[in-house]
Structures are given as C-alpha cells and as structure tokens.
C-alpha cells in the first residue's frame, strides 16, 4: 500500500492559473495574453525570468510546457496528511500554516503573497477522509481448568488527557471491570468450595478410617502401625505406604510435635507434596488443532468424560470436533452425540461437530476427523476410542495403530493421550497406567467415580511410580459424579485434605 503512495504520477501540462484575488501584482488587463502568461510564470517560479536559451518569440509558458515539470520528492511527507494516512503511516496532521519553511538559499527575490484560506471543502473530500470508529472486542473469561499456552497479552491503552470527558468514562469503565472481575472470582471461589465438599463426601469412607487412627492416640510406634494398616486399606499400596510413613516420621521428628492431630496435619502435607508433581493444567492452543486421544478400559467412563470436557472447552470458546472412533460398541455414537448436544446449547459460543462412521475402521474415522478439524479451523479434536483391557494384546495393538494414523494426519499429534481410570479399581489402576503408558506414552490421567466405593489412595501409588519417568504423568481432572460440575481440575492439597477427612 505504501508503494502506491510513493509512485510518481505523470506531470500534467500546465495551464493558465487565474491570479488570486488578494494579489495586486497580478492585476493585468484581461486582453493582454502575454501579461497574463508572465504573471503566471512569476507566481510559479518566484519572479524568475523565462528559462535561458529559449528561442526568440518563445514565451515562458511555452518553455515550461516544452520542459517536463519535476514531481515533488518521493520521501518528502505531505504538509497536511489525511486521516486515513495518519492511521496507516503514523503521520501527524498539521495546519497548512505550519508547513515546512522554504530553504533560504532557494527563496525568491520577492516573497509570495499568502494564499487565500479555502472557503469550502471540495466535493467528496469529507466522505473520503471520514474516520469510522472501530468496535472493541468483548472480553471473554476462560473456563476453569483449561489454559491457553500462548494467551494474547493485554495492551494498555494510552492515558487520555487530564480534564477531558474521556478520562471520566475510562475511570467508570475500569471500576465496572474491577467489580465484574471481583464478582467472577467470588463465584469461582464459591463453586470451588462446593466442589471440595463433594470430593470430601466421595472419599468419606477413606477419610473416616484414617481420622479414627488419630483419635485418642499417642505419638508412638503403635500409631504408625495403625496408620500403615489404614493407608493399605485406602489402596495406597505397599511402596507408597512405606514412603509416606518414612517421610512422616522425619517431619514429626523435625517439628518435635506430640499432638496426634498435628501429626495428621503433617501427614496431609506429606501426601500433598507426593501428589504435587501430578498437578498440571491441560494446555490447548499451542497446536491447531490440539488433538486429544482418550483411552481406557471398558466402563471407565471415557465417553462421559469426553462430554464434560467438551462442555468446558466450549465454555472457553474453543471450537471442538469429536471423533466417534468406538465403532463397535452399540450406541457409542449416540451417547457421544447426546453429550455433544448438551455442550452445544442455545447461546453457546461455538458449535460441536462429530465425525462418525458405523462399523468403519476406528483408525480411519480418527484420520478423517483430524483432517476435517484442520480444514474447519477447529481448536481441539477429541478422539473417543473403544474400551481395551490391558490383557488383550491384540486390542492394544489397535490403539497403537490409531496413534500412528493420527500422527500421519497431523505431524506431532496426538498432543495429549489421556487415560480415564475408574477410581473404584484400587491397585489395578496402577497396572492400567503402566500398561497403557508402555503402549501409547500417556501424557495425562482422569480419575472418575470417586463418589462410590473408591478410596483414592491409589493416586499416591501412581505418583510414586511416575517419579521413575523423565516427565511425570499429569492428573488433569477428577470426577465424583455424572453432572457437568462433578468433573473438576485436580489440586494436590485439596485432594490430600479430602483424603484425610
């Protein structure tokens, strides 16, 4: 666009310019053409005579017409820049009276009279340079538990001049924004408190059995023996129980406490520190689309988890496409469609699409979904796979095939491989994590159904095992029920406190 403004236009042939009304030097007889031409040349050249070397009888106007007039310099900015050029190139509009002063070396012998002020704007100029205000985008608050890897940084607007009406409007807008932010934070905090209450209720059996150990007890070996039995009953496993007891004894000795309830608080700190490497938020936005592959054994709650996760993504204004790759289970597509319909409610920011194929190859369906997600500009593509038992090796090979096909559809995909674990399976959950990780290289876990007979201690065993990996497997979400709000982000401290009642 700037090259367009730098192009030199062809110089038109000069015409006789009528003299300004306030120029007394140009008062000549209208019947004297030579006098009119001479006065025109004087005004254009600052009073210089006809160019040297002109043949006899050739007037100054003929000489100027025979010689092309040089265009103004390309890089010289205009004295008065229009508004649209000011927005594009950063020019600052100036009045005509403040234009650049002429070079004294090239000044004419007699100064030119000041031009008359324009009395009217030429036709069409007002419409051409009219400024149209731009609408500001409405700010959107992201949903909890989902983070964009490269969020756009807010750029502060320049301070308006003091004493103007705009400053008062900005102050009111800032106050309204602060009130809205405080209200949103209060709502999130209230919802989080309700979630912690539901989580504590789901782990009530485990919490009550661990709390009873500290009631009326003394800090001695008998307390540690009862605590060992309670941790084993909570599905923590032998290795995790041994690790926690050794860590607890060090903390008690370092703090020098003798109150059993203080020992319980130190145990909560030890469990939270063990689980903290698992606490991480799901990242979307670094890749377009972000491809998530969801796996798990039969009945773990994969499709339900996908539906809840889709709703959270839609609330965060992410465009989601679902791949119904569980092509052999009856009503698998219909169940996924129902959850997609719950997420795609009236007034939602974006719609949810589904790619499915009855009786087709799961890898082919996933491939088509990834290609469609790239073509439609989706932010996230989630592939729902069929339930696979870790002991059925030929079925695990099909999952490996799906992962390879996804990588062919998009380089570097899948970006997340999530394993959904039923919290009621106990120590078998650790065996599932090991088997699926060996086959698919897991990146995250989702623990569901903690509202049943689940004891929750298996997370300590998983956390201790993940320490042997270069990168610990994250626990993105935990669920305690069928409702949408029953799937929340994992917090190590909150889980440790809920585990101990």
Query: Does 450 have pLDDT greater than 90?
Result: no
Query: Does 84 have pLDDT greater than 70?
Result: no
Query: Does 493 have pLDDT greater than 50?
Result: yes
Q: Which of 73, 70, 92, 71 is nearest to 81 (CA)?
A: 92
Q: What are phi and psi of 282, to 5 degrees?
A: -70, 130
- Decide which of 442 and 41 is more confident: 442
Report the alpha-carbon distance of residue 451 to residue 290 in Å, rounded: 31
Q: Which of 230, 228, 184 is nearest to 209 (CA)?
A: 230
Q: What is the mean pLDDT of the chain?
A: 73
The answer to whether 447 and 475 have CB atoms below 8 angstroms apart is yes
pLDDT at position 89, please? 33
Pairing of strands 290-295, 282-284: unpaired
Q: What is the tens place of the pLDDT at every residue in 50-83? A: 444 444 444 444 444 444 444 445 444 444 333 3
Neighbours of 251 (CB within 10 A): 17
Among the ranges given (197-206, 233-242, 434-443), the one the predictor scored with the smallest mean pLDDT: 197-206
pLDDT, mean of residues 16-44: 49
The answer to whether 499 and 468 have CB atoms below 8 angstroms apart is no
Starting at the edge strand that comes first in sequence, how are the strands of the sheet with 416-422 ordered?
Answer: 352-355, 320-324, 380-384, 290-295, 416-422, 444-448, 474-479, 487-489
Query: Does 214 have pLDDT greater than 70?
Result: yes
Q: According to the 3-state scheme, what is the secondary structure of 254-301?
A: HHCCCCHHHHHHHHHHHHHHHHHHHECCEEECCCCCEEEEEECCCCCC
Residue 452, helix vs strand vs coil: coil
pLDDT at position 356, please? 83
Q: Which of 279, 209, 299, 268 is nearest to 462 (CA)?
A: 279
Neighbours of 326 (CB within 10 A): 22
pLDDT at position 378, please? 94
Contacts of 141 (CB under 8 A, 6+ apart): 184
Residue 119, helix vs strand vs coil: coil
Q: What are phi and psi of 265, to 5 degrees?
A: -65, -40
Q: What are phi and psi of 292, to 5 degrees?
A: -120, 125
pLDDT at position 59, please? 46
pLDDT, mean of residues 271-281: 94
* Strand ranges inside 392-455, DSSP E: 416-422, 444-448
The burial of 59, by beta-carbon neighbours within 10 Å (0-12 exposed, 13-18 middle, 19 or more buried), is given as: middle
Q: How many residues does the chain have?
A: 501
- Write out the DSSP string of 121-164: PPTTHHHHT---PPPPPPP-PPPTTEEESSPPPPPPPPPPPTTS
Report the alpha-carbon distance of residue 77 to residue 91 in Å, rounded: 8
pLDDT, mean of residues 169-176: 61
The CA distances from residue 225 to 220, 230, 255, 411, in Å, are 9, 9, 20, 53
The answer to whether 479 and 450 have CB atoms below 8 angstroms apart is yes
pLDDT at position 42, please? 57
Supply the DSSP symbol for 392.
-
Report the alpha-carbon distance of residue 231 to residue 239 in Å, rounded: 11
Q: What is the tens place of the pLDDT at every residue in 354-371? A: 888 877 788 999 999 999
Q: Print burial letters for 356-384: b (CB count within 10 Å at least 16), e (below 16).
A: bbeeeebbebbbbbbebbbeeebbbbbbb
Report the alpha-carbon distance of residue 57 to residue 197 in Å, rounded: 106
**pTM of the model as a whole:** 0.64
Planar angle of CA 393, 397, 403, nearest 5 degrees? 145
Supply 85's token pair. Answer: 């050029």
Supply the DSSP symbol for 56.
T
Residue matched to tokens 């890898």: 363
Q: What is the tens place of the pLDDT at every residue in 106-152? A: 444 444 444 445 444 444 333 333 443 444 445 444 445 555 554 44
pLDDT, mean of residues 295-323: 89
**To the nearest whole percent, how much of the chain has pLDDT over 90?**
33
Among the ranges given (30-44, 184-198, 233-247, 271-285), the one the predictor scored with the smallest mean pLDDT: 30-44
The secondary element (H helix, E strand) that includes residue 323 is strand 320-324
Report the alpha-carbon distance of residue 47 to residue 44 in Å, rounded: 8
Report the alpha-carbon distance of residue 425 to residue 453 in Å, rounded: 9
Query: HSE of 240 in the Cβ direction (CA atoms, 13 Å)?
Result: 29
pLDDT at position 40, please? 53
């Amino acid at each position: 666009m700037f090259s367009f403004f730098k192009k030199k236009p062809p110089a038109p042939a000069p015409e006789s310019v009528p003299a300004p009304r306030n120029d007394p030097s140009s008062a000549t007889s209208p019947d004297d053409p030579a006098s009119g031409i001479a006065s025109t040349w004087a005004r254009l050249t600052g009073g210089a005579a006809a160019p040297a070397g002109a043949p006899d009888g050739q007037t100054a106007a003929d000489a100027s017409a025979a010689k092309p007039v040089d265009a103004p310099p390309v890089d010289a900015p205009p004295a008065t820049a229009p508004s649209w050029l000011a927005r594009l190139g950063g020019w600052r509009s100036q009045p005509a009276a403040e234009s650049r002063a002429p070079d004294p070396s090239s000044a004419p012998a007699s100064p030119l009279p000041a031009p008359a002020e324009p009395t009217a704007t030429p036709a069409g100029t007002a419409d051409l340079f009219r400024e149209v205000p731009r609408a500001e985008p409405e700010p959107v608050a992201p949903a909890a538990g989902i983070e964009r890897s490269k969020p756009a940084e807010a750029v502060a607007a320049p301070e308006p001049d003091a004493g103007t009406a705009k400053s008062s409007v900005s102050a009111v807008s800032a106050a309204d924004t602060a009130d809205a932010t405080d209200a949103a934070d209060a709502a999130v905090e209230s919802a989080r408190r309700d979630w912690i209450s539901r989580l504590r209720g789901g782990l009530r059996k485990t919490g009550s059995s661990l709390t009873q150990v500290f009631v009326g007890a003394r800090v001695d070996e008998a307390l540690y023996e009862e605590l060992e039995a309670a941790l084993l009953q909570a599905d923590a496993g032998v290795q995790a129980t041994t690790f926690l007891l050794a860590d607890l004894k060090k903390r008690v000795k370092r703090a020098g406490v003798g109150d059993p309830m203080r020992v319980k608080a130190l145990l909560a700190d030890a469990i939270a520190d063990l689980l903290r490497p698992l606490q991480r938020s799901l990242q979307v936005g670094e890749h377009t689309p972000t491809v998530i592959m969801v796996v798990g054994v039969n009945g773990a709650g994969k499709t339900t988890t996908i539906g809840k996760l889709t709703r959270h993504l839609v609330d965060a204004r992410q465009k989601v496409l679902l791949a119904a790759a569980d092509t052999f289970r009856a009503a698998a597509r219909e169940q996924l469609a129902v959850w997609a319909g719950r997420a795609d409610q009236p007034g939602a920011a974006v719609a949810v699409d589904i790619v499915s194929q009855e009786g087709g190859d799961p890898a082919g369906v996933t491939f088509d979904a990834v290609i469609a997600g790239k073509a439609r500009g989706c932010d996230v593509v989630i592939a729902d796979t069929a339930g696979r038992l870790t002991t059925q090796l030929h079925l695990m090979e099909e999952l490996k095939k799906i992962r390879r096909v996804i990588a062919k559809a998009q380089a570097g995909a899948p970006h997340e491989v999530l394993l959904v674990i039923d919290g009621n399976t106990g120590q078998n959950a650790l065996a599932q994590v090991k088997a699926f990780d060996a086959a698919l290289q897991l990146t995250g876990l989702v623990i569901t159904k903690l509202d049943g007979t689940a004891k929750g201690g298996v997370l300590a065993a998983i956390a201790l095992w993940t320490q042997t990996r270069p990168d610990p497997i994250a626990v993105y979400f935990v669920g305690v029920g069928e409702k949408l709000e029953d799937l929340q982000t994992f917090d190590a401290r909150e889980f440790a406190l809920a585990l101990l009642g």
